Homo-oligomer: A and B are copies of this chain.
Amino acid sequence: MNLENNISKKVYTKISSLKKGLPFLTVIGAGPGDLELITLKAIKSLRTADVVLYDALVNPELLEYAPKAEHIFVGKRKGCYAYQQEQINELIVSRAKTHGHVVRLKGGDPFVFGRGAEEMTYAANHGVDTEMIPGISSCISVPAAQNIPVTKRNSAESFWVITGTTKEHKLSQDVHLAAKSSATVVILMGMSKLPEIIALFKKEGKSETPIAIIQNGTRANEKVGVGTISTIIGVVQEEKLANPAIIIIGEVVNHRASIKKVAKNSIHELSSGI
């Protein structure tokens, strides 16, 4: 397979095309944290980047795919944003016009609560051509890494992904309907609303429904709590679980116990001959 072998050759032609002065934005999903859960397409694009704008949730080692590019951190540090969204939009356009190929590198998938669509619209409206390269979304892969599938025959015919914090800092009205549905419910950044969420599911008679909370999913400092709607608050207190976390509610959580637990990074361990 010569996909990777072809990379270097192609990269140089790409850069020369970009030097003709074409401003270009590629919005890239970097996946959930594991350095190897990035796509070949993303790596190829990074190698042609002149500027990379990256978030706090992006593994900074990925910047090594773009060693000559300017790297600009535009995420949140110690609770403060380095840049406001409008500043990021402007930076994308100005750097694309002066430097050429701007890569906007985001954790997970840029079209899942990632504001990638907004940035593309802004760039397009300002004369910058755009492309988007999807990433492995945390909403599916973080539960998966804990052996929790979002769907499973006879357990769940659908899954519903909801943000815990709306623009107005209220719990989304959709959670009310979600509690009535048979969907697997995945709530991102919802820890501050957990008691409210629990109350909604209890109201629908779902006290015994399994629930898992995964903090820092797929990372070295990952923490997991598993229980039912009735018991999970106790688990959260005991394990001191907090955001950034994913809440997953539904029978699929029970799948976790049905799989023989294999050590994380088993392929690495095997492959290094350990």
Contact = CB atoms under 8 A, between A and B. Distances in A.
Interface residues of A, number: 94
B37 A41 contact: yes
Interface in A222-238: none
Give the oligomeric copy count.
2
Interface in A126-175: 129-137, 140-141, 143-145, 147, 149-154, 157-163, 166-167, 172-174
B157 A172 contact: yes
A112 B152 contact: no
Contacts of A121: 255, 258-259
A76 interface: no
Interface of A: 1, 3-4, 10-11, 13-14, 16-18, 26, 31, 34-41, 43-45, 48, 61, 64-65, 67, 109-118, 120-121, 124-125, 129-137, 140-141, 143-145, 147, 149-154, 157-163, 166-167, 172-174, 177-178, 180-183, 252, 255, 258-260, 262, 266-268, 270-273
Given A14-B271, A44-B267, 4 more contacts: A34-B41, A41-B267, A131-B266, A132-B145
